[in-house]
Structure 1
């Protein structure tokens, strides 16, 4: 398999980091602080980023990383710094099998901070660049809903490998989505999934586990031809995607089922395995620009599962422009059988505004 080593490292790194986030998920106090843009960041975000970047740097030392977090707040906060150090050390001990293969050079608190700060690449059209979101859907993480640990390898602007760790989704790929998926979730037995894809090799799911990777199975999008029967996924947060526009699009398409709202790239994963059919993320303002770490892994997984992903104008998502999708507006993901119909409805609604 092309990029086989990269896939293995990514799967093990995301699995180890996801297990760390699960420990924080069960804590009442998650060490939450606010970033400059007022968005929350937790102990889980910092710890997961440190573990994943350390694995990348051990195995692919010349690769760059575009990560969401940086360590300045930790350098100024002794308590948070020590809490994250304990979490990271605990995760490494719990996953000793994986540690032998992907462990990183985190031997001190300074190593941990440096690992987090290796995520400052500017991205761009050349070279090997990993896009990392250590906890996508932090607000879902805080409310007890869906979240995902997300990692993708971009080579010369093209996504080649994508992995999503979704601890609160059911292992059963045939499990239907329901309207309660955005809150009161657990990672109990029967939940926790690693989704992955390699360009040209298809997409898979496997149960999240400790240590060795579990057996994978292929996933495919549902072969949908009647768009009125579609299960429609959208973001929980109105600040991330226009709920009003999306409701108009659903009405225009004749979709009568209530939309399923969930946080994170768990939406990409859910439609890729056929639990949902359409994912829309429409811009809430003309100035809003998506970040590459919020879409790179999910975009590849959906496309390799037989789906189609474009922006609201029909252009493919362009991951070669740096840290953002500056050449794209919105996201339209659906099975190939209905994507054109969905896109036409999106254009009709947006052009009428």
Structure 2
């Protein structure tokens, strides 16, 4: 496997304390912001290389998940290692653990992951010598923190949108910092999303066959400081403020941003909601991953619904929503569950007190919540709107 794309080395920054004065001056979480950008850059370089060398260049079946497995483990190891070296007292809630890389059975996969991780960390100047296999496994397992409010922690999804990744569609590397159970910082790398929202998004699989210029957008938000987009790569790349479109609650101009996979949300209910709101048919964009949050944050769409399927017993994972939620909020939107309750990130590794997600431009959110309730009542699923009991 060829080497990982190298990035310019970022100097380590001193830690920061949480004060209103720093929040007002923009220095709040400045060190964490810089390190998070650096970590996500390195992870995106790995995932891009895995796609180029193991997905697009090889014939794989739908059942063959090995490339995304390599990418998941490698990206999580790199991000965890970078975070732990700069903020050793922080917890990390990660999606993966090292079980599949252990022992003789995991030797081949472990070797591939080790190559990617060490190449990346050495290129970025984060380590002076390669990590041993044991250190690699320990880095991945740093993601076992249980969450909650006992101390501040990071939430990481190393490859959000695995099916999109394998198709050559949209996926994201998502990292968020939570303090006292509230998301304070989010960084999201979307390697296949155009930097300029005016540029047409490539069709799934198009990236396999040709090099498309202008791809690769990183989205950044810090509580109270707004949301920004910049190229994924580059130390001093220009950041551009992003905002949701202000439609003044005119749903005839609104567009949904929906999941590709039907199992992730009730798309039939979405269609009924669009009908009730007067949103024209065809006013929707479908893509995988938290890239949907980023897309509505910069005005590519206006509404993202993730409605419960089945009996609503599924508990959303915090890493699937933390980075995206703060992006939308800092871009002028509102994020809640389907009953309009704030997402509760204090309950561990899942949003156990919430069902589903509604993210929208602020002037639309109240009406949208009412119509979601109406649609669920029509389906005989009004029980999903009731508070969850532990």
Instruction: Name stretches of at least 5 consecutive residues in structure 2 with no aligned partner.
Output: 1-26, 380-390
Q: Mark the CA change 1:181 to 1:268 in structure 2 (over 3 Å): closer, same or farther.
A: farther
Q: Is 1:81 paired with 2:110?
A: yes
216-225 or 24-33, which deviates more: 24-33
Report what 1:219 is aligned to: 242
1:137–1:263: 8 Å Cα contact kept in structure 2?
A: yes
CA distance in 1, matches of 2:341, 2:132: 45
- Higher Cα Rg, which structure: 2
2:268 is aligned to 244
Structure 2 counterpart of 1:319, from 333, 341, 345: 345
Q: In structure 2, which of residues 151, 154, 164 is the aligned counterpart of residue 130 of structure 1?
A: 154
Written as runs of structure 1 = structure 2, the 5 A alignment for 1:177-326 is 181-185=203-207, 188-210=212-234, 212-225=235-248, 226-258=250-282, 259-285=284-310, 286-326=312-352
Q: Secondary structure at the match of 2:262?
A: coil
Matched, 1:50 2:72: no
**Which of the numbers 5, 14, 17 marks the counterpart of 2:43?**
17
Task: Tell me how far 1:289 sits from its aligned partner.
Answer: 1.1
TM-score (norm 1): 0.91
**Higher relative contact order (CA closer than 8 Å, sequence separation 6+):** 1
Q: CA deviation at 1:39?
A: 12
Cα deviations by residue, 1:227-268 (Å, 9 ceiling, x for unpaired):
121111111111111111111111111112422211100000
**TM-score (normalised: structure 2):** 0.83
More moved, 157-166 vs 257-266? 257-266
Asked if structure 2 preserves the Cα contact closer than 8 Å seen for 1:164 and 1:194, the reply is yes
Q: Measure the CA separation in 1 of the matches of 2:349 and 2:62.
A: 23
- The Cα of 1:8 is off from its aligned counterpart by 0.4
Q: Give the secondary structure class of the aligned counterpart of 2:263.
A: coil
Distance 1:322 1:81 in 2: 29
Superposed displacement of residue 105, structure 1: 8.2
Structure 1 residues without counterparts, runs of 5 or longer:
none
Check the 8 A contact 2:68/2:166 in 1, yes or no: no
Q: Deviations over 1:312-332 (max 9, x none)?
A: 000011111000000111111
Distance 1:41 1:30, change over 3 A: farther
The Cα of 1:86 is off from its aligned counterpart by: 1.3
DSSP 3-state at the match of 2:264 = coil
- The 1:156/1:61 distance shift into structure 2, 3 A limit, reads same
Q: How many residues align?
A: 343
2:168 aligned to 103, 123, 144, which one? 144
Change (3 A) 1:40 1:69: farther
> 1:31 and 1:165, CA in 2 relative to 1: closer, same or farther beyond 3 A?
farther
CA distance in 2, matches of 1:171, 1:251: 32
Q: Which residue of 1 aligns with 2:23?
A: none
Change (3 A) 1:23 1:156: same
Residue number among 93, 101, 108 corresponding to 2:132 in the alignment: 108
